[in-house]
A and B are shown apart, each in its own frame.
Chain A
Amino acid sequence: MLPLFWLRVALCLYGVGLIYALASLWGGRRVLTRITLPAVGLGTVFHFVSLVENAMFSGTWAPTSMHGLESLLAFVLMMFFFVIYARFGATSPGLAVFPLVFWLTFSASSYAEPTEPSAPIFVSVQWIYIHVALIFIGYSALFFSFVASILYLIQERNLKSKTGISSFWSRLPALATIDEIGFKCLIWGFPFMTLGLIAGSILAEARYGTRYFADPKILLSGLMWVVYMVLLYTRWSAGWRGRRAAYLATFAFGAAMLAWAANNFSQMHRFIAP
């Protein structure tokens, strides 16, 4: 049994964020803005408490179950949200981040998986943790960049349609700000993603040898990494923005989702301590 109390408290607070995101689509955003940030902030704090408690309970920082990973990813996403908020004062990414975080936390807190004693650990647990943390930061960066490119499209269409500055979407940050958020996330995420993949490969090679490299998980991860690099390169050298950048970001994010989903059919890579 994993202690889930604090995670559920965090879930309730993230619920406010979810309501905010949904209400935004109906235009009733003003009132919620004031309570949402404190609520999800507090949620993140409780989330952290639950992560610490979990680590103490299972005696390791490395997540030991699928739900533990979901919880960690949700936490990293929230941290990203607050870093971006602190830097750019933008709350709009919350429209996409809050529902995702809510969903991840909901799944993580729905029931406690038994922590089955799995295969004996022969690589150090720290390595797994480093691999997971790096990859998750990379995933989060990619997700934020994806959200930013969607928001960019919306804002661009909004400005082109000339419907006035009073419409709902006009509350989005300025085009240049959204662009900067997207680009900064890409740049900062890339080294994490790369190092995370390298760490993963080292781990896998130590355990399975070279046959690991034919696994769908690593093929999809490789694909994702290549798309990520193309995205970064076109943005950097040709200044791709708007529609084309959004297509690429969607593609990269889709590849990341596939790589994540590959855990379900990969022979070797499961979200369980090896």
Chain B
Amino acid sequence: MNFHLIGVNHNSAPLEVRERLAVSEAQLPDAIRSLVQQPGVDEGIVLSTCNRVEVLTSTKQSADLRGFLGSYFGVSPAALNSHIYEFEQREAIRHVFRVASSLDSMVVGESQILGQVKEAYAIARGLGAVHSALEALLSRAFAVAKRVRTETAIGSSSVSVASVAVQLAEKIFGSLENRTVYLIGAGKMAELAARHLIAHGAKNIIVSNRTYARAEELAESFGGRPVPFEQMYETADHADIILTSTGAAEPIFRREHGERLRKGRRNRPMFFIDIAVPRNVHPDVNKLDGMFVYDVDDLQSVATDNASERKKEAERAEKIIELEVDRFTSRMKSLAVVPTILSLQEYCETIRQAEVDRIRGRLGTITPEQEAAIEAMTRGIINKLLHTPITTLKSSTDHPEAATIHEMIRRLFNLNTGKPKE
């Protein structure tokens, strides 16, 4: 059994190349079917995301995966060769584990990739293209990804300004479900941050802008409510989160505004995300109980801290993966000797049965005790004889000559031809 993987990702290939190899979801079953029809390919799965296209197979003999890629996508192999990476066996196992654990991602630790791998797995499995060795490998990969996620903090911190804002908001409000977001100023960046907040559950959107038409337009696109700029102060206490991005030269929220808002909100916390430069919210507001103010620099520095933290966590994750690769390879190797052990036992049992039947005819009538004694004795002989070959097989899986020993035992007991000789 061999694992064989080839692919391109965001590091190895530019977008133009990845585009040509991308497989749409509708096309995926077809791609998998043609993959498993390749000579030598036993099982196969195709993973195609915006950052990578990978083909993973388990093969009985060597298979020409580069040829498959070239012919399936109609790309000349020469154009691909410099962009493709190719892994076999241990390397392939490690790569699959790393991809599933999001260590190979563009944004290390992002959580989407695991879902994408699981989806690809479900499709391939539905087609019967994944059943034994790949099944074992992929389900292990999911377990490893889970372990990495729980034992390291790799996915727990955000590394972009917008996602840091969301994470902070969640640290304050728990869930953003049904929270009110107030956009003051309607710049591109504010819009992006607002979309992030909405994606995480924020429901009520209020938009206020000096140009009322723009506020209306933006409010409509969010399904929110526009408010004239003059009424901004009166309505601000409805908001849990205030996102400011106006071009005002002086802060529009100062300490006294904060105090008034706090009263209006009966001390419930309030989160200011100030992405305007110069700042729209005076830093003093942050000193008030229950008021949290983050400006662009604060968000950026949190993001940078998180990125370096993530790097440290990634190193720990790599160690976990190395351990898991070791564990998986040795398990695969010990699985490989199981059929041999079974046929060895079967082979000896057949001989024993035949010999016992033959001797019983000559003995005439025997008591049940005697019969039991014959059974026990013959079984004992077989078990003692087989003990050493079986333990050798089991214990030699990590031995460099494991394959030779395995083959030797098969030959000695004539297991390759099937039937034992009479």
Q: Is the CB of A241 within 8 A of B302?
A: no
In A40-63, the 8 Å CB interface with B consists of: none
Q: A162-B294, A242-B290, A243-B289 are in contact. Are A170 and B171 (CB under 8 A)?
A: yes
- How many angstroms between the C-alpha atoms of A25 and B386 in the bound complex? 57
Chain A 151-187 interface mask (CB, 8 Å, partner B; 1/0): 0000110011011111000100111110010000000
- The answer to whether B266 has its CB under 8 Å from any CB of chain A is yes
Q: Is the CB of B309 within 8 A of A166?
A: yes
Closest to A88 in B: B174
Closest to A178 in B: B174
Q: Is the CB of A166 within 8 A of B286?
A: no
Q: Is the CB of B171 within 8 A of A175?
A: yes
Closest to A237 in B: B266
How many A-B residue pairs lie within 8 Å, measured between CB atoms?
72
- How many angstroms between the C-alpha atoms of A160 and B298 in the bound complex? 11
Q: How many residues of A contact B (CB 8 A)?
A: 24
Q: Is the CB of A165 within 8 A of B302?
A: yes
- The answer to whether A238 has its CB under 8 Å from any CB of chain B is yes
Q: Is the CB of B306 within 8 A of A166?
A: yes
Chain A 230-256 interface mask (CB, 8 Å, partner B; 1/0): 000000001111111000000000000
Q: Is the CB of B286 within 8 A of A160?
A: yes
Q: A165-B164, A239-B268 are in contact. Are A174 and B171 (CB under 8 A)?
A: yes
- How many angstroms between the C-alpha atoms of A166 and B266 in the bound complex? 30
- The answer to whether B222 has its CB under 8 Å from any CB of chain A is no
In A220-274, the 8 Å CB interface with B consists of: 238-244
In B116-149, the 8 Å CB interface with A consists of: none
CB distance from B134 to the nearest CB of A (A): 31
Q: Is the CB of A174 within 8 A of B172?
A: yes
| A-B contact sample (15 more), CB < 8 A, given A166-B153, A176-B172 | A156-B290, A159-B292, A160-B292, A162-B294, A164-B301, A165-B167, A165-B168, A165-B302, A174-B170, A176-B269, A239-B268, A240-B267, A241-B268, A241-B290, A242-B290
A contacts, CB < 8 Å to B = 30, 155-156, 159-160, 162-166, 170, 173-177, 180, 238-244
5 contacts between A and B (CB under 8 A): A156-B290, A159-B292, A174-B175, A241-B269, A242-B289
